[in-house]
Structure formats: structure tokens, C-alpha cells
Amino acid sequence: MGLREFFEPESIAVIGASREENKPGHVIFRLLKENRDNGTLKAKVYPVNPKAKELLGEPCYPSIGDIPDKVSLAVIVVPAPIVPKVIEDCGKKGVKSAIVISAGFSEVGNRRLEEELLTKARKYGIRILGPNCIGVLNPWTGVDTIFLPYFKVLKNGRKLLSTPRPKPGHIAFLSQSGAFATAAMDYMAGEKLGLRALVSYGNKADVDEADLIEYFGSDEKTRTILMYIESLERGRKVIEVASKVTLRKPIVALKAGRTKAGVRAAASHTAALAGVDEIYEAAFRKAGIIRAYDMEQLFDLAKALSMQPPAKGGRVAIVTDGGGAGVMTTDECELNGLIVPELTGEDREKLEKLKKEKIIPQFASLRNPIDLTGSATSEMYVESIEILMESKNIDLIIVLALHQVPGIEDPIELAEQVVKIQREYNFSKPIVAVDTGWSEAAVCTRETFDEGLIPSYSTPERAARVAAALYRYGNYLRKKGELENYLKKWHPAI
């Protein structure tokens, strides 16, 4: 059985739908009902609770067997000891997919209870997500078992948006940690990253990373697969599956437990052995999995890899209106394995011609970075970037558009122009952008870039690091003899 029902079910039963407002079983049912009522969720939703006749105005069923309809997904939020019995009920009802939210299994040493759950599930051919997880968020279909309300009401009565959901998008995020997954939701929503689906798989008694990579690897809407990992049990299988998927789409992994103390911390957390980091490093490299080394990078890379094609080589050109930022970008590019070559030959001649024609300033530096100085205008950027798009010596472009300089009169127009060039050239080379600061101008400029599928960042170094990842991924595909084929099939995620 596949995993489709976890993400696109036709009907959902919430088993353990509680009347108590703060209980996960209540929140899950409420959010699903709200999504159904507002049209986001197309599936039917049934609360199961033997103690209630109705819940939030919906009739409640004593057990799943009483629901007068086919159920394609069961969300189980009952105390751990009775989960096996509930699975048995699900099996009899013909349910084939169940998310077990309930905790109290192998993560606290109850391995036998988890075994029992699994035996029941196998008996009826039910795929299990969890136990001890927060389940699934699919913003495309409205499936949302994340039992954290959008808002918190503080003790003084103030109501604060607390756990926003990211918009629909193309990043599939697989997280071993539920808390990290929810923190990530807030982070992604703020960074305006779109989610194909988020999956927290907890103890992974049944469905694990290998299954999920395979599923999202074949899913058309998924552009990038993101993973937060502490341990891999079926390591070989994961690598085998990932090796195939990375020929079609990028996988980015943040593996925690890199140090001895980190491994100990991970063991306390999930009762799983994080293992020697070098082995993971080598395995990831072999499978073409791009490794992120911190939380910020994980999402930075996801954004870039979802928007831009991999680079054909590691030669970067930098166009800037700030000399200092140009130097910082150059440093970080070179430190991350990219080359910032001095521009020579035809490229240089074309740029010198712009100078002669007074299109770019006399005191602009053309060696790379191309420093258009504080007198930079949109036109100068356009002319320079077009030369770089045509260049045979450049594989990747970083545009530093620090909006504060006086020359950039309309930074949003500048971003629009860069977006336009990238489309005219059909994304033939990746472009990454930077504008720093958090003023309205900075935020709007970055949003314009992002909406035009040019990933933008708030510091030079973040952009340089994602540029390096675009190169590393392209290099991996090239070594596998797949780069041309990949680029032929690649199209912007519009």
C-alpha cells in the first residue's frame, strides 16, 4: 500500500476526539473541521469518542466501526495502552492508513506495546505513521494533524499568532522531531517558504524515511525534500532510495548528533543511536544528499534548490552596489568551494564598453565582483547581468542589491528586472540575490525576488552558501552523467 491516503484522504476519523479544548484530540478535530468548513479540506471528517454524543456540532461515534461510511485515514489520539485495540477496530473497518499521535511506546521503553501495535497493523495491512508523532500537515489538501492551535491566549488575555502554517508550496519536510517540526512551521511561514507537506514520523514503527523519500520522490508537486534526522535505522535502504531520488530532485538533510555530546543528547531524546557522524557524511555524499549544517542553512538551501536549477560549474560572478558586501560574498564563495574568477576576454570587453558608453560608472570595478558602486541603477544591473548570462566563463550569478545606496531609486523595480532577465534566459544559470536589513524596502525587495523565483537572503554569506549548494548538486549530477538530462527536464516551479 502506498502513502497517498496520509496526505490526500477522502475521509478522516479522529479517534480520541476530546471535548477538552486543550487536548490534542480536540485540537486536531477542530482544525480539520475548520479546514473542511472553509473549503480547504475536501475530505469528510468524523470524530470518534465513546463518551460524547456530539463534538463542535458534529455527531460523535462511539467507535470507528460505527461510522456509516468508508474511512481512508484514522488519526489516533488515545492513551497508548488502548492503541492496539483501536488499530484492530481500524482493521475491521477496512482502514489502510493510520497516524498514531499517542506517545508512550518505544521512546519510553515500551517496545512490546509498539510491537503489538505493529502486529495488529500488519495483520490488516494498515500503514502506520508514528507512534509518538505530530503527523501530517498538507497545506494543499487541508490535512492537518498538528495539534497546536494557530493562536495562544496569554494570561493577560492577549491573543498571539503562535503556530502559523506555511502556505502551499513545493518543499516536503520530513522530521524525526515533532517539536522541531512545529518550530520549523513557524520559521518557514515567516520565511514565506511553501510546503508540499510536513511529516513528523516519530518512532517510525512502520513508515520511515525510506518510504517517505520514495513517496515524495515520485510526487510531482515536490521540488525539494528536506529532512531533519537524528538516527537512521534502515540506513542502507534510505541511501538506496535517496540515490535514485536525487537524480530527479534535491534532498537536503540536517543530521543532528554530530558530536559525542550531541549523540548522547539524541539518545536521551529518541532512544535511538545517532551513530558516527563520518559514516552519515560519507553515505549522504554517496547518495547525493546535500547536507545542511544548521537550521538556517536547511531552509536557505531548500528555498534555493526549489527555485533555481543546479549550476553547471562552480564559477560565480558577483554584481554589487556595495564593495564591502562584494568582498564578503567573494570570501564565502571561495571558502565554500566556488571560484570567483577574474573577468577577462570577451566578458571584460563588453563591460568596458558599457563603461565607455557611460552606461556604468567610470570608477566601477569590473574584475569580479562587478562593483557598480552607490551610483548603481537598475539599468546597470540589467546590462551587467545580461553579459554574465551570455558568458561562457560563468556558471552562477549572485546579485547584491543593497537597496540603501542612493543610486537604487526603486529597488523593487530592480528586483523585477532581474526576475525578467532570468525568465528571458529561461533559467539557464542560477541567480541568487541579497538585500540586507529589515526595513520595508528590504523586505519588499526580497519578496519581489522570491516571488519571481530568485531566492534572496538577508546577508551575503547566506547567499554564497546556497550558491555553493547549487554547484555541489550540479556537480553530483554531472558525475553521475545525469546533469544534462536533469536540466532538460527542469522547469521553474510556477
Residues 90-109 that bind a second copy (CB under 8 A): 108
Report helix, strand or coil for 385.
helix
Per-residue exposure over 360-382, b if at least 16 CB sit within 10 Å of its own CB, e if not: bbeebebebbbbbbebbbbebbb
Instruction: Tell me if 164 contacts a second copy by CB under 8 A.
Output: yes
**Minimum Å distance from CB 456 to a second copy?**
14
206 Cβ partners below 8 Å, 6+ apart?
118, 121, 127, 128, 129
Q: Which helix (H) or strand (E) holds 129?
A: strand 127-129
Compute the least distance from the CB of residue 394 to a second copy, in Å.
14
Long-range contacts (CB closer than 8 Å, 24 or more residues apart) made by 147-152: 147/24, 147/25, 147/27, 147/28, 147/31, 147/77, 147/101, 148/27, 148/182, 149/27, 149/31
**Which of left, alpha, beta for 132 (phi over 0: left; psi -120 to 50: alpha)?**
left
173 is a site residue for a second copy (CB under 8 A)? no
Rule CB under 8 A: choose which of 184, 290, 388, 397 binds a second copy.
184
Q: Which of 20, 21, 22, 358 binds a second copy (CB under 8 A)?
A: 22
Assess 63 for contact with a second copy (CB under 8 A): no
357 binds a second copy (CB under 8 A): no
Segment (H or E) for 24:
helix 24-37
The single residue among 72, 141, 145, 436 that binds a second copy, judged by CB under 8 A, is 436
| Alpha-helical regions (H) of 290-410 | 295-307, 323-335, 345-356, 378-390
Residue with smaller CB distance to a second copy, 188 or 477: 188
Q: CA 482: distance to chain centroid?
A: 24
Question: Which range binds a second copy by CB under 8 A, 120-128, 148-156, 306-314, 486-494?
Answer: 148-156
Q: Is 413 in the site for a second copy (CB under 8 A)?
A: yes
**For a second copy, which is the closer residue by CB, 247 or 265?**
265
220-239 residues in contact with a second copy (CB under 8 A) are 228, 230
Binding test (CB under 8 A) with a second copy, winner from 218, 426, 439, 485: 439
Q: Which helix (H) or strand (E) holds 278?
A: helix 277-287
C-alpha cell at 369: 565582483
Which lies closer to a second copy via its Cβ, residue 154 or residue 279?
154
Listed in order, strand segments (DSSP E) in 133-274 are: 135-138, 143-144, 151-153, 159-161, 168-175, 195-200, 224-229, 251-255
Q: Is 410 in the site for a second copy (CB under 8 A)?
A: yes
Q: Is 106 exposed, middle or buried (0-12, 13-18, 19+ CB in 10 A)?
A: buried
- Residue 175 interacts with a second copy (CB under 8 A)? yes
Binding residue for a second copy, selected from 462, 468, 474, 475, defined by CB under 8 A = 462
Q: Is residue 314 part of the contact set for a second copy (CB under 8 A)? A: no
For the bound state, the minimum distance from the C-beta of residue 401 to a second copy, rounded and expressed in Å, comes to: 11
# residues near a second copy by CB under 8 A: 96
Pick one of 312, 403, 429, 472: the residue that binds a second copy (CB under 8 A): 403
> Coil, strand or helix: which one is 343?
coil
Among 139, 194, 369, 455, binds a second copy (CB under 8 A): 369
Distance (Å, whole) CA 58 – CA 490: 46
Based on the shown chain and the rule CB under 8 A, indicate whether residue 438 belongs to the binding site for a second copy.
yes
Cis peptide before 455 (omega within 30 of 0): no
Quick check: 266 binds a second copy (CB under 8 A)? Answer: yes
> What minimum distance in Å lies between the beta carbon of 256 and a second copy?
4
Shortest Å distance, C-beta 298 to a second copy: 9
Indicate the residue among 144 and 219 with the shorter CB distance to a second copy: 144
- Please give the backbone phi and psi of residue 48, each rounded to the nearest 5 degrees, phi first: -120, 120
In whole angstroms, give the CA distance from residue 413 to residue 419. Answer: 10
Report in angstroms how near the CB of residue 153 gets to a second copy at its nearest.
8
Choice between 124 and 150, CB closer to a second copy:
150
Q: Does 265 bind a second copy (CB under 8 A)?
A: yes
